[in-house]
Structure 1
Amino acid sequence: MEKEVAIITGAASGIGQAIAIALSERNICTILVDKNPCTETIQQLTGDFFEHNGDINSEAFIDEVITNTIKHFGKIDILVNNAGTCGRSSLETMTLEEWTRDISTNLQSTFLFIQKVVYPHMKEQKYGRIINISSISGMNGGAISEGETVGRSGPAYAASKGGVIALTKWVAKEIGFLHITCNSVAPGATETGITKGVNYEISNQPINRMGQPSEIAAAVAFLASKEASYITGQVLAVDGGLYM
Protein backbone atom coordinates (compact mmCIF):
# COMPACT_ATOMS: atom_id res chain seq x y z
CA MET A 1 0.00 0.00 0.00
CA GLU A 2 1.27 3.46 -0.91
CA LYS A 3 2.21 5.53 2.11
CA GLU A 4 0.26 8.66 2.98
CA VAL A 5 2.03 12.02 3.12
CA ALA A 6 1.46 14.61 5.85
CA ILE A 7 2.60 18.23 6.25
CA ILE A 8 2.91 19.31 9.89
CA THR A 9 3.71 22.92 10.74
CA GLY A 10 5.45 23.81 14.00
CA ALA A 11 7.01 20.35 14.06
CA ALA A 12 10.22 21.15 15.93
CA SER A 13 8.79 20.89 19.43
CA GLY A 14 5.73 20.57 21.62
CA ILE A 15 2.43 19.53 20.09
CA GLY A 16 3.77 19.63 16.53
CA GLN A 17 6.61 17.30 17.44
CA ALA A 18 4.18 14.87 19.10
CA ILE A 19 1.92 14.94 16.03
CA ALA A 20 4.83 14.21 13.69
CA ILE A 21 5.91 11.27 15.85
CA ALA A 22 2.36 9.88 16.09
CA LEU A 23 1.84 10.03 12.33
CA SER A 24 5.26 8.56 11.63
CA GLU A 25 4.43 5.63 13.91
CA ARG A 26 1.42 5.04 11.66
CA ASN A 27 3.72 4.66 8.64
CA ILE A 28 2.92 8.13 7.26
CA CYS A 29 5.62 10.18 5.51
CA THR A 30 6.04 13.42 7.45
CA ILE A 31 6.95 16.85 6.11
CA LEU A 32 8.33 18.80 9.07
CA VAL A 33 7.85 22.57 8.82
CA ASP A 34 9.29 24.96 11.39
CA LYS A 35 11.40 28.11 11.63
CA ASN A 36 13.72 26.12 13.92
CA PRO A 37 15.62 22.90 13.12
CA CYS A 38 13.54 19.77 13.79
CA THR A 39 16.53 17.77 15.08
CA GLU A 40 14.83 16.41 18.22
CA THR A 41 11.74 15.43 16.25
CA ILE A 42 13.73 13.67 13.53
CA GLN A 43 15.55 11.56 16.13
CA GLN A 44 12.20 10.09 17.18
CA LEU A 45 10.71 9.39 13.75
CA THR A 46 10.34 5.86 12.46
CA GLY A 47 9.52 6.57 8.81
CA ASP A 48 10.27 8.76 5.82
CA PHE A 49 10.45 12.49 6.38
CA PHE A 50 11.53 15.77 4.82
CA GLU A 51 12.36 18.98 6.69
CA HIS A 52 11.65 22.59 5.72
CA ASN A 53 12.91 25.49 7.82
CA GLY A 54 11.49 28.94 7.25
CA ASP A 55 8.84 31.51 8.08
CA ILE A 56 5.24 30.38 7.56
CA ASN A 57 4.24 34.04 7.41
CA SER A 58 5.94 34.06 3.99
CA GLU A 59 3.70 33.00 1.12
CA ALA A 60 6.81 32.20 -0.94
CA PHE A 61 8.01 29.79 1.76
CA ILE A 62 4.61 28.05 1.88
CA ASP A 63 4.75 27.66 -1.92
CA GLU A 64 8.24 26.17 -1.57
CA VAL A 65 7.10 23.63 1.04
CA ILE A 66 4.20 22.45 -1.09
CA THR A 67 6.19 22.35 -4.33
CA ASN A 68 9.00 20.31 -2.75
CA THR A 69 6.52 17.95 -1.08
CA ILE A 70 4.91 17.17 -4.42
CA LYS A 71 8.34 16.85 -6.02
CA HIS A 72 9.62 14.32 -3.48
CA PHE A 73 6.44 12.41 -2.56
CA GLY A 74 4.02 13.13 -5.42
CA LYS A 75 1.01 14.00 -3.26
CA ILE A 76 -0.30 15.48 -0.02
CA ASP A 77 -2.87 13.47 1.94
CA ILE A 78 -2.83 15.20 5.32
CA LEU A 79 -2.29 18.80 6.39
CA VAL A 80 -1.86 19.71 10.05
CA ASN A 81 -1.78 23.45 10.72
CA ASN A 82 -0.21 23.55 14.17
CA ALA A 83 2.41 26.33 14.22
CA GLY A 84 1.45 29.26 16.36
CA THR A 85 2.46 32.17 18.53
CA CYS A 86 0.85 33.37 21.75
CA GLY A 87 1.20 36.96 22.87
CA ARG A 88 0.24 37.59 26.48
CA SER A 89 -0.16 41.36 26.49
CA SER A 90 -3.45 42.78 27.70
CA LEU A 91 -5.94 44.65 25.54
CA GLU A 92 -4.60 47.89 26.98
CA THR A 93 -0.93 47.19 26.29
CA MET A 94 -0.96 45.05 23.14
CA THR A 95 0.77 46.69 20.19
CA LEU A 96 -0.28 46.42 16.57
CA GLU A 97 2.91 44.46 15.92
CA GLU A 98 1.97 41.86 18.54
CA TRP A 99 -1.59 41.67 17.19
CA THR A 100 -0.41 41.22 13.61
CA ARG A 101 2.09 38.51 14.56
CA ASP A 102 -0.51 36.24 16.19
CA ILE A 103 -3.15 36.83 13.52
CA SER A 104 -0.66 36.18 10.73
CA THR A 105 1.03 33.12 12.25
CA ASN A 106 -2.06 31.44 13.66
CA LEU A 107 -4.76 32.33 11.15
CA GLN A 108 -3.33 33.68 7.91
CA SER A 109 -0.81 30.86 7.48
CA THR A 110 -3.58 28.33 8.12
CA PHE A 111 -5.67 29.88 5.35
CA LEU A 112 -2.74 29.93 2.91
CA PHE A 113 -1.69 26.34 3.56
CA ILE A 114 -5.27 25.11 3.18
CA GLN A 115 -5.84 27.04 -0.03
CA LYS A 116 -2.59 25.95 -1.65
CA VAL A 117 -2.82 22.30 -0.57
CA VAL A 118 -6.45 21.83 -1.57
CA TYR A 119 -6.10 23.59 -4.93
CA PRO A 120 -5.02 21.73 -6.95
CA HIS A 121 -3.52 18.79 -5.04
CA MET A 122 -6.25 17.40 -2.76
CA LYS A 123 -8.89 18.46 -5.25
CA GLU A 124 -7.28 16.43 -8.03
CA GLN A 125 -6.93 13.30 -5.92
CA LYS A 126 -10.40 13.80 -4.37
CA TYR A 127 -9.12 12.96 -0.93
CA GLY A 128 -7.60 14.74 2.02
CA ARG A 129 -7.54 15.31 5.74
CA ILE A 130 -7.05 18.82 7.14
CA ILE A 131 -6.64 19.29 10.89
CA ASN A 132 -6.23 22.77 12.33
CA ILE A 133 -4.95 23.21 15.88
CA SER A 134 -7.04 25.90 17.53
CA SER A 135 -7.41 26.40 21.28
CA ILE A 136 -9.94 26.52 24.07
CA SER A 137 -9.14 30.27 24.07
CA GLY A 138 -10.78 30.45 20.65
CA MET A 139 -13.95 28.96 22.14
CA ASN A 140 -14.25 30.83 25.43
CA GLY A 141 -12.03 33.91 25.00
CA GLY A 142 -9.35 32.61 27.33
CA ALA A 143 -9.14 32.19 31.07
CA ILE A 144 -10.80 34.65 33.44
CA SER A 145 -7.96 36.75 34.82
CA GLU A 146 -9.75 38.70 37.58
CA GLY A 147 -7.78 41.81 36.75
CA GLU A 148 -4.43 40.04 36.37
CA THR A 149 -3.03 39.97 32.83
CA VAL A 150 0.32 38.22 33.33
CA GLY A 151 0.17 34.73 31.88
CA ARG A 152 -3.24 35.03 30.26
CA SER A 153 -3.22 34.49 26.49
CA GLY A 154 -3.88 37.83 24.83
CA PRO A 155 -6.75 39.10 22.65
CA ALA A 156 -4.91 38.44 19.39
CA TYR A 157 -4.37 34.80 20.33
CA ALA A 158 -8.02 34.29 21.25
CA ALA A 159 -9.20 36.09 18.11
CA SER A 160 -6.85 34.15 15.83
CA LYS A 161 -7.83 30.79 17.30
CA GLY A 162 -11.51 31.69 17.11
CA GLY A 163 -10.86 32.55 13.48
CA VAL A 164 -9.23 29.16 12.93
CA ILE A 165 -12.39 27.48 14.22
CA ALA A 166 -14.66 29.55 11.96
CA LEU A 167 -12.35 28.92 8.99
CA THR A 168 -12.40 25.19 9.72
CA LYS A 169 -16.19 25.09 9.52
CA TRP A 170 -16.31 27.24 6.38
CA VAL A 171 -13.76 25.09 4.58
CA ALA A 172 -15.50 21.86 5.64
CA LYS A 173 -18.69 23.04 3.95
CA GLU A 174 -16.81 24.08 0.81
CA ILE A 175 -14.79 20.92 0.11
CA GLY A 176 -16.72 18.04 1.63
CA PHE A 177 -18.02 16.93 -1.78
CA LEU A 178 -14.39 16.32 -2.78
CA HIS A 179 -14.04 13.73 0.03
CA ILE A 180 -11.77 16.13 1.92
CA THR A 181 -12.49 16.61 5.62
CA CYS A 182 -11.52 19.64 7.67
CA ASN A 183 -11.59 19.52 11.46
CA SER A 184 -10.01 21.29 14.41
CA VAL A 185 -8.46 20.08 17.65
CA ALA A 186 -8.69 22.60 20.49
CA PRO A 187 -6.17 21.92 23.28
CA GLY A 188 -6.69 23.14 26.78
CA ALA A 189 -3.80 23.75 29.16
CA THR A 190 -1.02 21.56 27.76
CA GLU A 191 2.61 21.23 28.82
CA THR A 192 4.59 22.88 26.00
CA GLY A 193 7.14 25.63 25.59
CA ILE A 194 4.34 28.17 25.14
CA THR A 195 2.82 27.32 28.52
CA LYS A 196 6.08 26.94 30.44
CA GLY A 197 6.12 29.16 33.51
CA VAL A 198 2.40 29.97 33.26
CA ASN A 199 0.28 29.05 36.27
CA TYR A 200 -2.99 27.59 35.00
CA GLU A 201 -5.98 27.17 37.27
CA ILE A 202 -6.78 23.53 36.59
CA SER A 203 -8.33 22.53 39.92
CA ASN A 204 -11.82 23.09 38.50
CA GLN A 205 -11.27 20.75 35.53
CA PRO A 206 -12.89 17.31 35.75
CA ILE A 207 -9.46 15.91 34.85
CA ASN A 208 -7.45 18.26 37.02
CA ARG A 209 -4.00 18.14 35.46
CA MET A 210 -2.14 19.59 32.50
CA GLY A 211 -2.50 17.83 29.18
CA GLN A 212 0.41 16.21 27.34
CA PRO A 213 1.31 16.86 23.70
CA SER A 214 0.92 13.14 22.96
CA GLU A 215 -2.75 13.39 23.98
CA ILE A 216 -3.35 16.16 21.45
CA ALA A 217 -1.45 14.13 18.86
CA ALA A 218 -3.67 11.10 19.41
CA ALA A 219 -6.76 13.16 18.56
CA VAL A 220 -5.07 14.51 15.43
CA ALA A 221 -4.03 11.02 14.33
CA PHE A 222 -7.63 9.83 14.55
CA LEU A 223 -9.00 12.76 12.55
CA ALA A 224 -6.25 12.18 9.97
CA SER A 225 -7.25 8.55 9.53
CA LYS A 226 -9.58 6.93 7.03
CA GLU A 227 -11.76 5.88 9.96
CA ALA A 228 -12.70 9.55 10.40
CA SER A 229 -14.11 9.83 6.87
CA TYR A 230 -17.60 10.90 8.06
CA ILE A 231 -16.40 13.59 10.46
CA THR A 232 -15.93 17.15 9.24
CA GLY A 233 -16.37 20.70 10.47
CA GLN A 234 -15.94 19.60 14.08
CA VAL A 235 -13.94 21.05 16.95
CA LEU A 236 -12.59 18.38 19.27
CA ALA A 237 -11.70 19.88 22.64
CA VAL A 238 -8.84 18.01 24.32
CA ASP A 239 -8.93 19.92 27.57
CA GLY A 240 -9.58 17.68 30.55
CA GLY A 241 -13.27 18.51 30.36
CA LEU A 242 -12.86 22.24 30.98
CA TYR A 243 -15.10 23.34 28.12
CA MET A 244 -18.42 21.54 28.22
Structure 2
Amino acid sequence: MAVILITGATAGFGKACAEKFAQHKHDLIITGRRQERLNELKTSLEQQYGVKVLPLTFDVREEQTVVNTLEAIPEEWKKVEVLINNAGLAAGLSTVDEGSTDDWNAMLDTNVKGLLYVSRAVIPWLKAQGRGHIINLGSIAGSQVYAKGNVYCASKAAVDAISQGMRIDLLPFGIKVTNVCPGAAETEFSVVRFKGDEDKAKDVYKGLKPLSAEDVADVIFYCTTLPPHVCINHLEITPLQQASAYYYHRN
Protein backbone atom coordinates (compact mmCIF):
# COMPACT_ATOMS: atom_id res chain seq x y z
CA MET A 1 0.00 0.00 0.00
CA ALA A 2 0.93 3.66 -0.26
CA VAL A 3 3.08 5.58 2.21
CA ILE A 4 1.26 8.60 3.66
CA LEU A 5 3.22 11.47 5.27
CA ILE A 6 1.24 13.54 7.77
CA THR A 7 2.61 16.60 9.57
CA GLY A 8 1.16 17.66 12.90
CA ALA A 9 -0.07 14.14 13.61
CA THR A 10 -0.12 14.33 17.40
CA ALA A 11 -3.69 15.73 17.60
CA GLY A 12 -6.70 17.00 15.69
CA PHE A 13 -6.96 16.54 11.92
CA GLY A 14 -3.49 15.03 11.66
CA LYS A 15 -4.12 12.29 14.19
CA ALA A 16 -7.56 11.57 12.71
CA CYS A 17 -6.01 11.27 9.24
CA ALA A 18 -3.37 8.87 10.57
CA GLU A 19 -6.09 6.68 12.03
CA LYS A 20 -8.21 6.83 8.86
CA PHE A 21 -5.39 5.87 6.49
CA ALA A 22 -4.11 3.17 8.87
CA GLN A 23 -7.60 1.62 8.89
CA HIS A 24 -7.19 1.23 5.13
CA LYS A 25 -3.81 -0.46 5.59
CA HIS A 26 -1.52 2.38 4.45
CA ASP A 27 1.93 2.77 6.00
CA LEU A 28 2.52 6.14 7.64
CA ILE A 29 5.19 8.71 8.34
CA ILE A 30 3.86 10.85 11.19
CA THR A 31 5.55 14.04 12.33
CA GLY A 32 5.08 16.41 15.24
CA ARG A 33 6.82 18.15 18.10
CA ARG A 34 5.56 15.87 20.90
CA GLN A 35 7.62 12.68 20.75
CA GLU A 36 5.67 10.82 23.43
CA ARG A 37 2.38 11.33 21.57
CA LEU A 38 3.93 10.24 18.28
CA ASN A 39 5.30 7.07 19.85
CA GLU A 40 1.93 6.29 21.46
CA LEU A 41 0.18 6.77 18.12
CA LYS A 42 2.74 4.58 16.34
CA THR A 43 2.21 1.74 18.84
CA SER A 44 -1.56 2.05 18.70
CA LEU A 45 -1.80 2.06 14.89
CA GLU A 46 0.68 -0.77 14.39
CA GLN A 47 -1.09 -2.97 16.94
CA GLN A 48 -4.62 -2.22 15.69
CA TYR A 49 -4.09 -2.24 11.94
CA GLY A 50 -0.83 -4.10 11.26
CA VAL A 51 0.70 -1.18 9.35
CA LYS A 52 4.22 0.23 9.57
CA VAL A 53 4.59 3.68 11.15
CA LEU A 54 7.68 5.90 11.14
CA PRO A 55 7.47 8.71 13.74
CA LEU A 56 9.65 11.79 13.15
CA THR A 57 9.91 14.40 15.90
CA PHE A 58 10.64 17.89 14.60
CA ASP A 59 9.20 21.38 14.34
CA VAL A 60 8.23 22.30 10.77
CA ARG A 61 9.39 25.88 11.48
CA GLU A 62 13.04 24.75 11.62
CA GLU A 63 14.08 24.56 7.98
CA GLN A 64 17.39 22.74 8.34
CA THR A 65 15.93 20.21 10.78
CA VAL A 66 13.09 19.49 8.34
CA VAL A 67 15.56 18.96 5.50
CA ASN A 68 18.04 16.88 7.50
CA THR A 69 15.37 14.66 9.08
CA LEU A 70 13.53 13.90 5.86
CA GLU A 71 16.71 13.35 3.83
CA ALA A 72 17.94 10.85 6.42
CA ILE A 73 14.99 8.45 6.33
CA PRO A 74 15.48 5.08 4.60
CA GLU A 75 14.85 5.07 0.84
CA GLU A 76 11.87 2.74 1.07
CA TRP A 77 10.06 5.34 3.18
CA LYS A 78 10.54 7.99 0.48
CA LYS A 79 7.95 6.28 -1.72
CA VAL A 80 5.36 8.72 -0.38
CA GLU A 81 2.16 8.95 -2.41
CA VAL A 82 0.20 11.37 -0.21
CA LEU A 83 1.60 14.34 1.71
CA ILE A 84 -0.84 15.91 4.18
CA ASN A 85 0.44 19.33 5.22
CA ASN A 86 -1.58 19.56 8.41
CA ALA A 87 0.79 21.20 10.92
CA GLY A 88 -0.62 24.60 11.79
CA LEU A 89 -2.17 26.74 14.47
CA ALA A 90 -3.98 29.91 15.43
CA ALA A 91 -2.41 31.95 18.22
CA GLY A 92 -4.34 34.74 19.89
CA LEU A 93 -7.37 36.74 18.75
CA SER A 94 -6.53 40.45 18.71
CA THR A 95 -6.76 43.57 16.61
CA VAL A 96 -3.63 44.26 14.59
CA ASP A 97 -2.49 47.09 16.86
CA GLU A 98 -2.80 44.85 19.95
CA GLY A 99 -1.47 41.64 18.39
CA SER A 100 1.51 39.74 19.75
CA THR A 101 4.43 39.58 17.34
CA ASP A 102 5.36 36.22 18.87
CA ASP A 103 1.91 34.93 17.90
CA TRP A 104 2.28 36.35 14.39
CA ASN A 105 5.66 34.67 13.94
CA ALA A 106 4.35 31.33 15.24
CA MET A 107 1.45 31.36 12.77
CA LEU A 108 3.37 32.54 9.72
CA ASP A 109 6.37 30.31 10.42
CA THR A 110 4.22 27.21 10.95
CA ASN A 111 1.24 27.67 8.64
CA VAL A 112 3.15 29.09 5.67
CA LYS A 113 6.89 28.53 5.88
CA GLY A 114 6.65 25.13 7.57
CA LEU A 115 4.29 23.91 4.85
CA LEU A 116 6.75 25.12 2.23
CA TYR A 117 9.79 23.53 3.88
CA VAL A 118 8.14 20.09 4.08
CA SER A 119 6.71 20.34 0.56
CA ARG A 120 10.06 21.33 -0.92
CA ALA A 121 11.67 18.26 0.65
CA VAL A 122 8.97 15.80 -0.41
CA ILE A 123 7.99 16.99 -3.91
CA PRO A 124 11.13 15.53 -5.56
CA TRP A 125 10.07 12.09 -4.26
CA LEU A 126 6.65 12.50 -5.87
CA LYS A 127 8.18 13.72 -9.14
CA ALA A 128 10.48 10.71 -9.25
CA GLN A 129 7.43 8.43 -9.08
CA GLY A 130 5.42 10.44 -11.61
CA ARG A 131 2.42 10.60 -9.29
CA GLY A 132 1.28 11.72 -5.86
CA HIS A 133 -1.14 13.91 -4.00
CA ILE A 134 -0.50 16.92 -1.75
CA ILE A 135 -3.27 17.87 0.66
CA ASN A 136 -2.84 21.32 2.22
CA LEU A 137 -4.94 22.15 5.27
CA GLY A 138 -6.34 25.58 4.65
CA SER A 139 -9.39 27.18 6.26
CA ILE A 140 -12.47 29.14 5.31
CA ALA A 141 -10.52 31.93 7.04
CA GLY A 142 -8.28 31.93 3.96
CA SER A 143 -11.05 33.48 1.88
CA GLN A 144 -13.27 35.13 4.52
CA VAL A 145 -11.54 37.42 6.99
CA TYR A 146 -13.20 37.80 10.39
CA ALA A 147 -12.70 40.33 13.18
CA LYS A 148 -9.40 39.92 15.05
CA GLY A 149 -8.39 37.03 12.78
CA ASN A 150 -6.05 39.23 10.67
CA VAL A 151 -2.73 37.33 10.66
CA TYR A 152 -4.26 33.85 10.99
CA CYS A 153 -6.55 34.64 8.05
CA ALA A 154 -3.54 35.97 6.11
CA SER A 155 -1.62 32.74 6.75
CA LYS A 156 -4.48 30.64 5.40
CA ALA A 157 -4.92 32.96 2.40
CA ALA A 158 -1.26 32.22 1.72
CA VAL A 159 -1.97 28.48 1.90
CA ASP A 160 -4.70 28.98 -0.71
CA ALA A 161 -2.33 30.87 -3.02
CA ILE A 162 0.48 28.36 -2.49
CA SER A 163 -1.91 25.49 -3.26
CA GLN A 164 -2.94 27.14 -6.52
CA GLY A 165 0.71 27.75 -7.38
CA MET A 166 1.64 24.15 -6.58
CA ARG A 167 -1.18 22.89 -8.79
CA ILE A 168 0.23 24.86 -11.73
CA ASP A 169 3.88 24.00 -11.02
CA LEU A 170 3.16 20.28 -10.65
CA LEU A 171 0.76 20.01 -13.57
CA PRO A 172 3.35 18.35 -15.89
CA PHE A 173 4.23 15.69 -13.29
CA GLY A 174 0.88 14.03 -12.61
CA ILE A 175 0.79 15.27 -9.01
CA LYS A 176 -2.54 16.32 -7.52
CA VAL A 177 -2.91 19.26 -5.12
CA THR A 178 -5.98 19.83 -2.95
CA ASN A 179 -6.60 22.71 -0.55
CA VAL A 180 -9.03 21.47 2.12
CA CYS A 181 -10.68 24.35 4.00
CA PRO A 182 -12.64 23.45 7.15
CA GLY A 183 -14.91 25.79 9.05
CA ALA A 184 -15.72 25.41 12.75
CA ALA A 185 -14.14 22.17 13.96
CA GLU A 186 -13.72 21.20 17.60
CA THR A 187 -10.15 20.00 18.09
CA GLU A 188 -7.27 21.46 20.16
CA PHE A 189 -7.40 24.44 17.76
CA SER A 190 -9.23 26.88 20.05
CA VAL A 191 -7.48 25.63 23.19
CA VAL A 192 -4.14 26.47 21.52
CA ARG A 193 -5.47 29.83 20.25
CA PHE A 194 -6.54 30.83 23.76
CA LYS A 195 -3.34 29.56 25.40
CA GLY A 196 -4.97 26.67 27.24
CA ASP A 197 -8.15 28.46 28.38
CA GLU A 198 -10.61 25.59 27.87
CA ASP A 199 -13.71 27.55 28.91
CA LYS A 200 -12.97 30.24 26.35
CA ALA A 201 -12.34 27.55 23.74
CA LYS A 202 -15.69 25.86 24.45
CA ASP A 203 -17.54 29.17 24.02
CA VAL A 204 -16.47 29.22 20.35
CA TYR A 205 -18.71 26.19 19.69
CA LYS A 206 -21.58 27.12 22.02
CA GLY A 207 -24.93 26.26 20.43
CA LEU A 208 -23.26 24.47 17.51
CA LYS A 209 -22.58 20.92 16.45
CA PRO A 210 -19.13 21.61 14.97
CA LEU A 211 -17.13 19.40 12.65
CA SER A 212 -15.01 16.73 14.29
CA ALA A 213 -11.46 15.86 13.33
CA GLU A 214 -12.85 12.58 11.98
CA ASP A 215 -15.29 14.43 9.69
CA VAL A 216 -12.40 16.30 8.08
CA ALA A 217 -10.23 13.18 7.88
CA ASP A 218 -13.06 11.38 6.05
CA VAL A 219 -13.18 14.15 3.44
CA ILE A 220 -9.41 14.14 3.01
CA PHE A 221 -9.38 10.38 2.58
CA TYR A 222 -12.16 10.63 -0.02
CA CYS A 223 -10.15 13.16 -2.05
CA THR A 224 -7.27 10.67 -2.24
CA THR A 225 -9.47 7.80 -3.46
CA LEU A 226 -10.70 9.39 -6.69
CA PRO A 227 -9.62 8.07 -10.11
CA PRO A 228 -6.18 9.19 -11.32
CA HIS A 229 -7.67 11.68 -13.81
CA VAL A 230 -9.84 13.44 -11.18
CA CYS A 231 -8.46 16.18 -8.91
CA ILE A 232 -10.38 18.25 -6.37
CA ASN A 233 -8.47 21.53 -6.29
CA HIS A 234 -10.28 23.35 -3.50
CA LEU A 235 -12.80 22.01 -1.01
CA GLU A 236 -14.65 23.92 1.73
CA ILE A 237 -16.40 22.04 4.52
CA THR A 238 -18.46 23.51 7.37
CA PRO A 239 -20.96 22.24 9.90
CA LEU A 240 -24.60 22.61 8.84
CA GLN A 241 -25.09 25.49 11.28
CA GLN A 242 -22.29 27.56 9.70
CA ALA A 243 -22.75 29.20 6.31
CA SER A 244 -19.52 31.24 6.32
CA ALA A 245 -16.80 32.52 8.61
CA TYR A 246 -19.28 34.89 10.24
CA TYR A 247 -22.80 33.49 9.65
CA TYR A 248 -23.88 30.91 12.24
CA HIS A 249 -27.23 29.60 13.43
CA ARG A 250 -26.70 28.73 17.08
CA ASN A 251 -29.22 26.88 19.24
Which band: TM-score by shorter chain? 0.7 to 0.9
Which of 8, 11, 14 pairs up with 1:13? 11
Q: Tell me the residue number matched to 1:227.
A: 227
Q: Is the 8 A contact 2:67 2:117 kept in 1?
A: no
The alpha-carbon distance between structure 1 residues 224 and 66, as it changes in their structure 2 partners (threshold 3 A), is: farther
Identical aligned pairs, as a percentage?
A: 22
TM-score w.r.t. length of structure 1: 0.85
Distance 1:32 1:112 in 2: 16
Q: Is the 8 A contact 2:4 2:28 kept in 1?
A: yes
Q: Is the 8 A contact 2:142 2:155 kept in 1?
A: yes
- 180-189 or 87-96, larger mean C-alpha shift: 87-96
Q: How does 1:176-187 map to 2 (within 5 A)?
A: 176-187=171-182
Query: How big is the shift at 1:63?
Result: 1.4
Look up the equivalent residue of 2:239 and give its one-letter code: G
The alpha-carbon distance between structure 1 residues 109 and 202, as it changes in their structure 2 partners (threshold 3 A), is: same
Look up the equivalent residue of 1:82 and give its one-letter code: N
Q: Deviations over 1:198-242 (max 9, x none)?
A: 223676xxxx5111100110111122235364214x221121253
Q: Tell me the residue number matched to 1:167.
A: 162
1:111 aligns with 2:116: yes
Q: Is the 8 A contact 2:39 2:55 kept in 1?
A: no
Which of 189, 193, 203 pairs up with 2:184? 189
Which of 14, 21, 24 pairs up with 2:22? 24
Distance 2:78 2:90 in 1: 34
1:155 aligns with 2:150: yes
The alpha-carbon distance between structure 1 residues 140 and 34, as it changes in their structure 2 partners (threshold 3 A), is: same
Q: Is the 8 A contact 1:181 1:229 kept in 2?
A: no
The alpha-carbon distance between structure 1 residues 70 and 175, as it changes in their structure 2 partners (threshold 3 A), is: farther
1:79 aligns with 2:78: no
Q: Deviations over 1:48-106 (max 9, x none)?
A: 11001111111122113422445342411110000112112311211322212101100
Distance 2:76 2:113 in 1: 26
Gaps of 5+ in 1: none
Gaps of 5+ in 2: 192-197, 245-251
TM-score w.r.t. length of structure 2: 0.83
Distance 2:10 2:145 in 1: 27
| Count of equivalent residues | 227
RMSD across aligned C-alpha pairs, in angstroms? 2.0
Which of 56, 63, 69 pairs up with 2:67? 63
Q: Deviations over 1:78-137 (max 9, x none)?
A: 10000112112311211322212101100111112222211x211111101000001111
Q: Tell me the residue number matched to 1:239.
A: 238
